[in-house]
Structure 1
Amino acid sequence: MARLFIAGLLAVPALAKIAEVADTLPDHSRPFVVRHLEGQKVQLADDVFRTLTNINTTANASANPVAAGFSMLLSSGKPNDAVPPHYHVHWHETFIPMAGQIRVWANGRPRDLGAGDFAMVPAMTNHSYQHVAQETEFLGLIQPAGFDEFFQAVSSPWSPAYNVPFPPDQALAFPTATFAKVATSFDVNHVNMSQTEKGACEADWHEGNGTLPNDSKTPYFLANGAGPHYWYEAGGAVISPLATSVQTNGNFTIAQISMRKTNANATVASWSSIDHQFIFGMKGRVKFGIAGEDVELISGDSLFIPAGTNVTFRSTVNYNKFLWCSGGPNGVDSQLIRAGKKWAYSTPPAH
């Protein structure tokens, strides 16, 4: 498979344990933060893709080498044409909107997803997507790692004077020839299916049951706030799994954590995992402690925590939300679920 080597790191003080990445990612697994709209950026037609983790940061030093890491991409753009329908033999893909609206097809009728919704697209699923709202931003975890290199191969580097989400008035022509040339080498396999054949958008899908499937081959959608929830009282947090090891064949997990303010005098637990961890801020402000250093995340910031690294976290505002993703079945999100109890809601109690 084609591969681009990514290296380089923003200079940080010699004693710093947590790197602040402005452009390219570290060439090995280490703690690092990517602030909102920072990171390695490429432009594909109307859209900008930012790489938040890649094969160099996630595919080694983990207890789950079979999973071969994961790539995390942040996509920003305006309304555009749907991506040509395709499937992957190996890639397991997710769509997690943060703002705006994205339309996703997955072996059936399209569904419009907004902030807080979730779509899982396993390997061998015919799928497509397009931005619908005037300003759309979504996060995508793709496993195994390496799919970010496809976007680098078909896109152009983007180095704006001002780091806005995307250039609304500076679209590039879609690189049709380049796309066709490299697609199959990155396991992007075209499907002969028109938009009409995909059917009309399923407008009422949010009202359906939010049950996770019992296998790793079924594509599924979860509406904002749907699905199972677990209340971890000691940490004041509700953990809502979007994908467990059952739906990913043990290769990764994703959970949304909603957290109320941590008391100033509270003693918080320290957590560690044999799998790599990735956190993305959705709302509010949360403080993480890693190797004696503290780092705060706000909406759009991300934090990578290598396997075997101890971490604490506390909410410094009344309410916040963040995603917790793990590169295997033993992540902190899974540990929090086991430490909690079933809960009927996606938000913590007020008492």
Structure 2
Amino acid sequence: MQSEEMKVVAGRGATIRCEVFGNPPPKVEWLKNGQQFQSELLQSSTNLAYLHLREASVEDAGRYTCIAANRAGEQRASTQLHVIDGDRARLECKVEGHPAPTVRWLRGGRPIEDMSNFILSPRGETLMILKARRADAGSYSCVAKNAAGETEAGFTVSVFTAPHIEESVDQNPHIVQGKTLTFYCPVLGNPDPKVEWRRDNLPLEEDPRFSILEGKHLQIEHAQKEDEGRYTCHAYNEAGVLDTDYESEVIDVDVPYSRINPLTYSAPPKFHRTGESVYEVVEHEAVTLDCAVVTEPKPEVIWYRGEQPLYLAGNMALSPDAMVSKKCKVGAGSSVSRNRFC
């Protein structure tokens, strides 16, 4: 079975797996908190039984036990499932005293100045964080005081955040054949995301030329033409999943191409075709921003959203001719092209 503890944010999917082997094939029974558990969510296949929660709720939390039994004996394995309410955090500070104490809340040892995301109960004993954000993580304390004295209780708030990337990354790396090809995936999140690298949606095949550094760098030494293709950084934690795609290019050193030999003919970039300057689209519908550039050598095209380089999120795709397709409403964007030599 999986690890003894599993955490999932409310509303996210979760799967508890239980591998079973035996002769004759064992029958599988599930318990939840020690009680027999039957559900249409229970499924099985050869040597595998599993419980799949499409949208976990707080009520799904508990200890799940998989029992595999045949006439030769019985085996059990358990997983404790924690379901975390991804929106709200409730801090309670039960106080007693005579006269009735006053209660105040501190964050990081200082009074909470911005209460727009918080609600206090009438007596101040409960502090509710309405929609937990990364900025709300940290230490909190409840201070109760009356004429007889003062007491304090501390809390630590951890906010789970899905994997995300906050800096610009090169999603179209290219390198001269024989050099080292590098993919960079600076993914962040809480808890720290786990990263798996894939090629064409399949796990990477073992190759002594491939190395993964700290999970965030994939390096291919002595890159060859057959190393070209789509690579994916698959990052996940209890709060969500992020897939970042990369399209690599390995330049054949035997081809007299201007990106390899800067002495060949070159010209500054020129826009051959551009789309509209303002797009009005229906939310969740696809929109394509057209920016065709002609020049020699082939230029590098960089897209911007506002003043920042555009990070291609999961709902965006960049075509070989530099058009961007996005399936939702987008803000102002622009593109800049420049010749690039290798």
TM norm structure 1 = 0.25
Structure of greater Rg: 2
The structure with the greater share of residues assigned to helix is 1
Identify which of structures 1 and 2 has the higher relative contact order when contacts are C-alpha pairs closer than 8 Å and 6+ apart. Answer: 1
TM norm structure 2 = 0.25
